[in-house]
């Protein structure tokens, strides 16, 4: 029972607590679910803490897991295609490819990024519908705190590199 509960909480947190775009202060419009589809997972304590802080019910955790499963395959595929297109673009930049070929590949990368963003947005909207108004508000606060923490760590790293 504990393993099942932890796995449900894990899926939820992976879905909600992934990478947050630094340039966007609104956590509801960021690609925060990306890490869960790329295999990077938060620590177990973080997962439990977020679930507790949001006071999720068992039904909510199950609904969030179902949403995660619904979008997981499609987002993974989109990420693979985007990664491949970016590698190809890098190869074209280093080669003797024409400007036209490079622009075409860049357009493909842009299209794939747009499609991925739309998938992430749709999954976030679906997750949002599962949460209460209070949970949405608390989640937004937590994501903003995470953004600030990430910015601080990155600024610290940049300071160490120079």
| Domain boundaries defined on the chain | 2-130
CB contact at 8 A, 72 and 37: yes
Give every CB contact of residue 32 below 8 A, 6+ residues apart in sequence: 16, 17, 18, 19, 20, 21, 120, 124, 143
Exposure letters 141-154 (e unless 16+ CB within 10 A, then b): ebbeebbeeeeeee
Which pLDDT does position 159 carry in this prediction?
78
- pLDDT digits over 24-73, tens only? 444 444 444 444 444 444 555 665 677 888 999 999 989 988 999 999 99
- pLDDT digits over 98-138, tens only? 999 999 999 999 999 999 999 999 998 999 999 999 999 99
As given in the structure block, the two tokens for residue 124 are: 């976030």
Return the higher-pLDDT residue of 97 and 33. 97
Which pLDDT does position 73 carry in this prediction?
94
Q: What is the CA radius of gyration of the chain?
A: 18
């Amino acid at each position: 029972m504990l393993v099942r509960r932890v796995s449900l909480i894990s899926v939820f947190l992976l879905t909600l607590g992934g990478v947050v775009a630094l340039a966007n202060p609104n956590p509801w419009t960021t690609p925060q679910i990306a890490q869960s589809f790329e295999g990077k997972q938060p620590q177990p304590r973080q997962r439990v803490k977020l679930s507790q802080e949001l006071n999720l019910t068992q039904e909510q955790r199950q609904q969030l897991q179902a949403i995660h499963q619904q979008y997981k395959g499609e987002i993974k595929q989109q990420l693979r295609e985007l990664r491949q297109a970016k590698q190809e673009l890098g190869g074209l930049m280093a080669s003797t490819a024409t400007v036209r070929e490079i622009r075409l590949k860049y357009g493909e990368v842009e299209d794939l990024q747009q499609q991925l963003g739309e998938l992430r947005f749709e999954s976030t909207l679906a997750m949002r519908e599962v949460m209460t108004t209070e949970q949405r508000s608390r989640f937004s606060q937590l994501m903003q705190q995470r953004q600030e923490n990430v910015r601080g760590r990155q600024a610290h790293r940049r300071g160490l590199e120079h």
